[in-house]
Amino acid sequence: MTAALEVIEAPAKAIEGRSPVLLAMRRLRRDKVAMGSLVVIVLIVLMAIFAPVVAAITGHPPNEQYRQIGLTPDGLPRGPNGTFWFGTDDLGRDVLVRIAYGARISLLVGVAATAITVVIGVVLGLAAGFLGGIVDTILARLIDVVLSVPFLLVAIALVSITGPSLSITVLVIGFFSWASVARIVRGQVLSLREREFVEAARSLGAGDTRIMFVDVLPNVLAPVIVYTTLLIPVVIVTQATLSFLGLGLPPPTADWGGMISESQNYYTTAWWFILFPGIALLITTLAFNLFGDGVRDAFDPRADRLR
Amino acid sequence: MVMFLIRRLGHGILVLWLITVAVFGLFFVAPSNVAQTLAGRQATPETIALIKQRLGLDQPVWKQYLDFIKNALHGNLGYDYYHQVPVTTIIGQALPITVSLALGAAVLWLLLGVFNGVISAVHPRSLADRGLTLFSLFFYSFPSFLLGLLLLYFLYFRLTLAGFTWFPAGGYTGITQGVGSWVQHLLLPWIALALLLAATYTRLTRGAMLDVLGEDYIRTARSKGIRERRVIVRHGLRSALTPVVTQFGIDLGQLIGGVVVIETVFSLPGLGQTAVVAINQQDLPVIIGIVLFASAAVVVANILVDIVYAVLDPRVRLH
């Protein structure tokens, strides 16, 4: 008996147990583009965290209007110069400092709204797929409804009714994005719940909630992680789009979409006013998308075949 | 097949009905001062009450909802608050613009996406593959308004400044007033939309093609001595297109419901821009009408996709 146990244990020590997530992380670390994007993301996060430092270095608070030195005698924005490295906006504010502060809004909304989306999506998707029956019927229709509604239109309408604010933006985006997550999770769970390990857990006396969250959930993590990384840039763009349409954060808060919207009337005279916030937004979404693409490849079991 | 269709239609109608409930509830529960706005600043409370009565806003919400449903079933989505124009007329005027925009862009993004996807799949991990992937991800990452503004800046403002008035700053002329002018007004928005959407198709085509090209029947076709180009297009692409068709239907359905940002940037008075204007004016009947129409477009597109899917791929069982 003891000898038999030892035989089983010995190879278990020799072969290192690697979960799919661990294997994916390993593949991801070897992906140069993904790692490069991650560095860019970290830099953007640092810029957001240290936005007050940027303000201190330039000596310009984000909402200070330099009407004398920041505007031309005609009242137009000033181009990049020694004092204002990225130029000024239509009110004589420092574009560089406002970009640094704008990163806070983009990242905050990106992470918060994505978190809400994923939590709602995973819980409802699990419930629908695992519990089945009437719960599934109701949730499946609800998913259909949310996916059929023209998201941007309803989001604009809602924000215009409630008045723009950070929390409303986050809630609206989260509320309308969970359905895709729920659909993915539901699909996976539908096949997972027929597997033996669920039966095994049940025979050990585990309840529905425990099986759902402890046994089934880890098995749907891979698609959820992939979807989450790719959702962040979408959310950032959505927030910027709402701002661009005039439903961002109330002024004078600096946010990228709002800055681009304000720059529209000046794009013939002040290219820096649109260019720098535009580049900031594009670099951020591109970095997240490239990273997300790497994550997807890393989790794709077929990726090995191609490499 | 017939049973499947009936069930799908039933689901679609149920979804649309739920959307009317949700949208109506949201917008009518929210505080509205549209009567005040319409009456002007110096209006007496009597005038405001009169306007509310005329618009039916003095009725309880459930009564308003029942009236709305009754009219909607008769093809009447109500009248806009400001000029008493039927909402169906407003949608009818805006729809051709949105459809022109969506269909033209669709041709471009399908060509671009499928072509790039095939090139990538035929030479996986090559420089072309990586380049095209980067190209499509680059434009996929673009916020639509930024891409639109950039196109306007370079291809309208800069070109016009340089003496080439090839593109207008925006606006729309109907196809009946000349195809040339119609294309001229829509070309920039088409390009913008196509670049934004092509990435998805490149990825889908690439993935599906890679799978298909590994199949035995492709090897059979090659060993029979069929030219490579024919193997790829006739044998490979044909069966790789199924996921592309699915995505295409869903995207087109969503776009027909209004292309909010691109329409706004290029001043195209399609459904999206009309809805944005209505939202700014709190013109509820128009908002609800367009939201419903857009949802219906998505629901119909999904049903069509299911049907096309079944026709394209006989292995799919309709149940």
Give, for all 307 residues of chain A, the pLDDT tens digit.
455 545 455 455 556 667 777 888 888 888 888 899 999 999 999 999 998 888 788 877 787 777 777 777 777 787 777 777 788 877 778 888 899 998 999 999 999 999 999 999 999 999 998 888 899 989 988 998 888 888 888 888 888 878 888 888 899 899 889 999 999 899 888 888 888 888 898 889 888 888 888 888 888 888 888 889 889 999 999 999 988 888 878 778 888 888 888 888 887 778 888 888 999 999 999 999 999 888 888 887 654 444 3
DSSP class of residue A79 equals P
Find the length of chain B: 319
Cβ atoms of B308 and B314 within 8 Å: the answer is no
Across the interface, whether the CB atoms of A264 and B149 are under 8 A apart is answered yes
Across the interface, whether the CB atoms of B137 and A282 are under 8 A apart is answered no
3 state SS of B53 = helix
Across the interface, whether the CB atoms of A153 and B279 are under 8 A apart is answered yes
B193 alpha-carbon distance from chain centroid: 10
User: Is the minimum CB–CB distance between B144 and chain A shorter than 8 Å?
Assistant: yes
Residues 83-112 (B) with a CB less than 8 A from some CB of A? none
- Which chain B residues contact residue A286 at CB under 8 A? 137-138, 141
Bond preceding residue A252 cis, omega within 30 of 0: yes
Q: Across residues B139-160, what is the average pLDDT? A: 86
Residue of B nearest to A285 (CA): B141
pLDDT of B319 reads: 44
- Which chain B residues contact residue A260 at CB under 8 A? 145-146, 149
- Which chain B residues contact residue A288 at CB under 8 A? 141
> Which span out of A50-54, B28-32, B106-110, B251-255 was modeled with the highest average pLDDT?
B106-110
A148, A247, A273, A279: best mutation site toward chain B, by most B Cβ within 10 Å?
A148
Hey, what are A139's tokens?
């949730």
Q: Shortest Cα distance from A161 to chain B (angstroms)?
A: 7
Chains A, B: CB contacts within 8 A come to 122
Across the interface, whether the CB atoms of A306 and B125 are under 8 A apart is answered yes
Which residue among B153, B210, B254 places its CB closest to the CB of A267?
A: B153
Q: Shortest Cα distance from B177 to chain A (angstroms)?
A: 30
Residue of A nearest to B135 (CA): A286
Q: Shortest Cα distance from A257 to chain B (angstroms)?
A: 9
Whole-number Å distance between alpha carbons of B115 and B119:
6
Across the interface, whether the CB atoms of A267 and B157 are under 8 A apart is answered yes
pLDDT tens track for B69-111: 888 888 788 888 888 889 899 999 999 999 999 999 999 999 9
Of B106, B143, B104, B98, the C-alpha closest to B252 is B106
3 state SS of B281 = coil
pLDDT of A199 reads: 87
pLDDT of B274 reads: 92
Across the interface, whether the CB atoms of A241 and B258 are under 8 A apart is answered no
Across the interface, whether the CB atoms of A148 and B295 are under 8 A apart is answered yes
Three-class secondary structure assignment of B146-170: HHHHHHHHHHHHHHHHCCCCCCCCC
In this structure, what are the phi and psi dihedrals at residue B37, rounded to the nearest 5 degrees? -60, -45
| Angle separating helix axes A151-162 and A217-242, nearest 10 degrees | 60
pLDDT of A206 reads: 85
pLDDT of A307 reads: 36
pLDDT of B235 reads: 81
Across the interface, whether the CB atoms of A152 and B143 are under 8 A apart is answered no
User: Is the minimum CB–CB distance between B169 and chain A shorter than 8 Å?
Assistant: no
What Rg, from alpha-carbon coordinates, does chain A have? Answer: 24
In this structure, what are the phi and psi dihedrals at residue A41, rounded to the nearest 5 degrees? -60, -45
A37, A141, A154, A268: best mutation site toward chain B, by most B Cβ within 10 Å?
A154
Opening angle at CA B50, ends B49 and B51, nearest 5:
90
> Is the pLDDT assigned to residue B202 strictly greater than 80?
yes
Residues 296-315 (B) with a CB less than 8 A from some CB of A? 298-299, 302
Alpha helices (H) in chain A, listed in sequence order: 2-14, 20-30, 32-49, 51-58, 95-131, 133-148, 151-162, 166-192, 196-203, 208-210, 217-242, 256-263, 271-299, 303-306
Across the interface, whether the CB atoms of B294 and A150 are under 8 A apart is answered yes
pLDDT of A304 reads: 46
Q: For residue A94, what are the contacts with CB-CB under 8 A and spacing of at least 6?
A: A58, A60, A62, A64, A66, A70, A84, A86, A88
Residue of B nearest to A247 (CA): B280
Q: For residue B266, what are the contacts with CB-CB under 8 A and spacing of at least 6?
A: B148, B152, B170, B171, B188, B189, B192
- Which chain B residues contact residue A233 at CB under 8 A? 141
Average pLDDT, chain B: 84
Q: Which amino acid is at A208?
A: D
Cβ atoms of B303 and B253 within 8 Å: the answer is no
Q: Shortest Cα distance from A281 to chain B (angstroms)?
A: 8
First to last CA, chain A: 44
pLDDT of B32 reads: 63
